[in-house]
Structure formats: structure tokens, C-alpha cells
Amino acid sequence: MKKIRSGLTAFLFGLLFVSVAGAQSPSADLGVELIQRPGAVTPGSADSFIYRLTNHGPDAAGTLSILSFPVEVFSDSILELPSGPEVDFYSSSGSGCRMILGILDPLPGEPPRIDYINVYPILAAGESVECEVFYRVNSALGHNLSVSWTSFSYRDEDPRDTNNSFVVVFGPAPPIPTLSPVGTAILILSLFLAFTLVQRFPR
């Protein structure tokens, strides 16, 4: 995983998506979908998920870039706690995907955040690639966190934006439902009455 340190972020992202000026923008309908959901998503757990990125055409995606990896699937910005990111997407593996870590300069008084970006080479029309993303959920995560992953290709026109993202939810396990004192009393009374009826009217 490559790290983009704060202060150089804007400059390096500009270099990453340098394009050929004056060229007409191709039309590439990028779609991304979750094809294997994560297993464990609770604080302190580690697992992975798999998504599929498809270029539905009509043109190839990323042809205007002079770099080798012009197509990307990026996450929402993740809050960095004192013990580390709320969720750390520490690695990815698949058909040409490479993860870049962007550490953003926080505004005064704001906590730092991290962007996770999987980059790809030019994606031909009709081509699909799959990527497995590995993660660790911070033990200090005390709330549900919805993380969107979105496809993007710089300088390409995407004619359909309804298939550009998917969401993975992390957070504590839902609490086990409990009965109130009144509910507990009603349950005990119901069991007692049922037992009494069975004793009085045996089959």
C-alpha cells in the first residue's frame, strides 16, 4: 500500500489524474457492486469483502490519462482515532487493483481522516475486474459506520450514476432484546397458566 502524506496530497492527486488537454471525453458507464459481503463487522474484528468493477461502455475508461492506473474505486473518508482509523482497509488483492492511502490535512479543530483508493489500469468496454478488500475494525468503534465505495474515471463521462457505489456497514452488534418487568411478569403468568391447564386436563 502506498501512502500519500499530508501537505503533498493535492499535488500528488493532481499528478495521478493528469490528462491530455483538448481531447473529447469518452463515455464509460462504470458500475461497481458488492459480490461477497463481509463476515465479521463488529469492533475488534477483521475480515474482507469482494466487489466487482465493470465498464458497461460504450468506450474504454481512463484512455485520456497518461498514467498506468487512471480508474479508481474510493472509500468515504475514514476518521482516525487515537488508536487508529475507525476501520482500516489495510490491503487489497485482485485483477490489477492497487490500494493508495491518502492522509488528509485536517481543518483546524477537526480530527484527521484517511481516504482509501483502489486504482486500476485502463478498463476496456465490457471488461470486469474483481477486488478483495481486507480490513480491521477498530475496537473503539462505538457506533454504526456506513462506508460507501464509489467508482470514478477522471475526464470520462459516465452516462449512468445509479450503479456507481455500494455500502458496507460496520459497528457494534445489535443488543439482544430484553423484556420489561411487566413483560417478564406476563410471561411467567402465561407459563404458570399453561402448566396448570396441562396438569388439570391431561391428554
Q: Taking the chain, what is the end-to-end CA distance rounded to the nearest angstrom?
A: 71
Report how far apart, in Å, the C-alpha atoms of 202 and of each of 192, 194, 196, 199 are. 15, 12, 10, 6
Which CATH number goes with the domain that contains 20? Answer: 2.60.40.1510
Does a cis peptide bond (omega within 30 degrees of 0) precede residue 58? Answer: yes
**Type of residue found at 45:** S
Mean pLDDT computed over every residue of the chain: 83
Q: How far is CA 34 from the centre of its chain?
A: 9
Higher pLDDT, 170 or 196: 170
C-alpha cell of residue 132: 478483495
* pTM for the predicted model, two decimal places: 0.74
Q: Could you tell me if residue 203 is inside a domain?
A: no
In a domain, 133, yes or no: yes
* Residue 199 covered by a domain: no
Q: Could you read off the pLDDT of 88-142 as tens digits, one per residue?
A: 999 999 877 899 988 877 788 888 999 999 999 999 999 999 999 999 999 999 9
Please give the backbone phi and psi of residue 127, each rounded to the nearest 5 degrees, phi first: -85, 140
User: What is the largest distance, in Å, between two alpha-carbon atoms of the chain?
Assistant: 92
Answer whether 103's CB lies under 8 Å from 6's CB.
Answer: yes
Residue 12 has pLDDT above 50, yes or no: no
Q: How far apart are CA 153 and CA 72, in angstroms?
A: 6
- Domain carrying residue 67: 2-173
- Establish if 57 belongs to a structural domain: yes
E-strand stretches of the chain = 2-4, 28-36, 46-58, 71-75, 78-81, 84-85, 87-94, 98-103, 113-120, 128-137, 145-153, 165-170
| pLDDT(23) > 60 | no
- How many other C-beta atoms lie within 10 A of the C-beta of residue 181? 7
DSSP 139: T
Residue 92 lies in a domain: yes
Q: How many domains does the chain have?
A: 1
pLDDT at 49: 97
